[in-house]
Amino acid sequence: MPELPEVETVRRGLQPVMEGSKIVKAEARRKDLRFPFQKDFTARLTGQTVTGLGRRAKYLMADLTSGDVLLMHLGMSGSFRILKNGDGKIQGDFHHPRGKDETHDHVVFHMSSGAAVVFNDPRRFGYMKIIARNALEEEPLLKGLGPEPLGNEFDAAMLAASCFHKKTSLKAALLDQRVVAGLGNIYVCEALYRAHLSPRRLAATLATKKAEPTDHAKRLVNGIHAVLNQAIKAGGSSLRDHRQTSGELGDFQHSFQVYDREGEKCQSAACGGIVRRFTQNGRSTFWCPKCQK
């Protein structure tokens, strides 16, 4: 499942061709993806200009002149590609051809810029929904999401307050989208390693008895910031399906320090430990027992 860096990478790839451009025609080539399309889905998009393209957690959000917002989720295998003038040529100098079965091209936005934005999703776990801007706060898909980990408000104090008296493990708390939005298994493992904190550690240890942030909380926030920024710069991680809008794979998987490195030596020069894997809440957790306490 794409996590925050992958979704942010896609947003940055789509922004130049969608933001400020009108959707001349919207196509939905099937009745549903993970969920059925709204009956007026294409009608509400056609003729609308995209005034801004943002991201909330793992969602892409296109603001429209109508006052609606197009919410888009990549699911497990969804990806976008950009075609110019409908002739199959990729838009821009930094876009390259990609091999995708066009039978899985389920949604196409024909933009006034001359580009076509194509959503391809073989497994159809992605979805799109149009929501009135003034109804976003009550939207079930968004309601209850925690702070953005790269937002100005997210700091050690906020994280400590969210984990105060929590009886779950630190890893489980970070995967809870109500605590912090957009993090998934890969980046939680990597952030915990950078903070030298055990995934088994009790989440409540991020706060003092007065709910103030401990040094653990400060280190963890720094680790989260570092790994997310590095991953975004690398175009995200490509393990199975993730591709950038250019068709290129992300590169951050080559920078993993613990994830998927079971049995390898810890990359901390002063450690000498071995990376281990265990199952935690149904997910694989990778860590170094020697330096993560």
Write out the catalytic residue numbers: 2-3, 58, 283
Q: What angle do CA 6, 15, 63 make, to 5 degrees?
A: 100
- In the block, tokens 């929501």 appear at 131
For residue 49, give the DSSP letter. Answer: B
CB atoms within 10 A of CB 40: 9
In angstroms, the CA 215 to CA 70 distance is 40
Residue pair 229/221 in contact by the 8 Å Cβ criterion: no
Tokens of 250: 């992300």
The half-sphere exposure of 211 on its side-chain side, counting CA atoms within 13 A, is 8
One-letter amino acid identity for 259? Y
